Structure 1
Amino acid sequence: MPSTLPSARIRPANVLDAPAIAAVHLRCWHETYGAKVPDDVYAERAARGPAEWEQALSDPNGPTTWLAQRDGEAVGFAQAVAPGAGHVRPLELRLLYVLAEEQGRRTGTHLLQLAIGDAPCQLWVEQDNARAQGFYRHHGFELDGERRAVAAGGALTEVRMLR
């Protein structure tokens, strides 16, 4: 049942948001993948995430990262990139994560809209993440049969969706 709360406030992220985005990213991984990802991978992401996000967000030529906040706290983020020649779509939704407690409040929908609009796009999603696949199907994406292993301890396989 959808929440009656409005969507979170969304804005372009800046370098000062790096620690908050890293924390949401890690928490979403725990919520989404759980024991499929080894503890040492989580520990490495916890240690390196803030610095990696700081570097990414300080790049003036980097993609825009959209940050969703509720009551001043980060609850999700999204990022799309132009992957370049040789890809099936000119745009790729690289990241879209929303905390479990925020799901169902249209925050993910609004992040998706800001990141890619209605453009033809590709994305990769974990093959067993039925909720995410359903969300993307609702927004016009379909599986195309492609899959790949993810370097997260070898426990994850992603499937590609296209719109």
Structure 2
Amino acid sequence: MIWPFNRKTSTETGAEYYIRDAAIADAKTLVDFKHRIWRDMFGHLKDEAFFTQAEATTDEQVKFWQSRISRGDTVWMAEDLRDRLVGTLHATTKHSEHTAEFVAAHALGELHELRYFYLTAATAETTIGTELIRTAIGDQPAITWLMGHAPLVETNLRQAGFEPLGEPIDPSDAPWKGIPRQAMVRQ
């Protein structure tokens, strides 16, 4: 007799989601997920041309993430029991240019930078976002940027001890003009 495996209910531990590190083969899934979430986060701030332009670079973005993962960078993925991606997070100690300037200006010292932190609406009543943060950096100090309309991300950041620092920054250059970003810091 073969017993069917029911991927619609929780596991024997009660889990409904699991977190794993992305493999090179996951790069396309990660990029497609990002584009889908961007439409939710920035849809009220940007026109279709913004999304079309971003999605036109999918192949380059996939190659970028494949190279980062092959060099040892970790992108954490949260999936449900049907293997659907519901959240992502990448943490690094290498700051982007605008983050490095902000960290120096506020004398924040050594921090991780959280990037690629996206959550779907399916995670609204869960702690999967805070679990992604805990998995990626534990209780270490970190900075990230809250952009667009991302209430789930903001809620999970606050639950993990992140607070806004400084005033929101409104980039003056395309393509991000019109999408203010707020620094969120945990010391």
- Which TM-score bucket, shorter chain as reference? 0.7 to 0.9
**1:4-153 superposed matches below 5 A:** 6-59=15-68, 60-61=70-71, 63-70=73-80, 71-83=82-94, 87=103, 88=108, 89-126=110-147, 129-150=150-171, 151-153=174-176
2:5 counterpart residue number = none
Bigger strand share: 1
Secondary structure, aligned partner of 1:93: strand
Tell me, yes or no, if structure 1 residue 162 matches structure 2 residue 173: no
Please report how far the alpha carbon of residue 65 of structure 1 lies from its aligned counterpart in structure 2 after TM superposition: 0.4
Rg comparison, structure with higher value: 2
| TM-score, length-scaled by structure 1 | 0.83
Partner letter of residue 20 of structure 2?
R
Instruction: In structure 1, list runs of 5 or more residues that go unmatched.
Output: none
- Greater relative CO (CA pairs within 8 A, separation 6+): 1
Q: CA distance change for structure 1 residues 116 and 146 in 2, over 3 Å: closer, same or farther? A: farther
Q: CA distance change for structure 1 residues 14 and 58 in 2, over 3 Å: closer, same or farther? A: farther
How much identity, in percent, do the aligned residues show? 26
Aligned-CA RMSD value: 2.4
CA distance in structure 1 between the aligned counterparts of 2:19 and 2:150, rounded to whole angstroms:
25
CA distance in structure 2 between the aligned counterparts of 1:132 and 1:58, rounded to whole angstroms:
26
Please report how far the alpha carbon of residue 118 of structure 1 lies from its aligned counterpart in structure 2 after TM superposition: 0.5
CA distance in structure 1 between the aligned counterparts of 2:123 and 2:149, rounded to whole angstroms:
21
What is the aligned residue count?
Answer: 160
Instruction: In structure 2, list runs of 5 or more residues that go unmatched.
Output: 1-9
Question: CA contact under 8 A between 1:13 and 1:64: conserved in structure 2?
Answer: yes
Q: CA distance change for structure 1 residues 128 and 48 in 2, over 3 Å: closer, same or farther? A: closer
| TM-score, length-scaled by structure 2 | 0.74
Partner letter of residue 159 of structure 1?
Q
CA distance in structure 2 between the aligned counterparts of 1:135 and 1:37, rounded to whole angstroms:
25
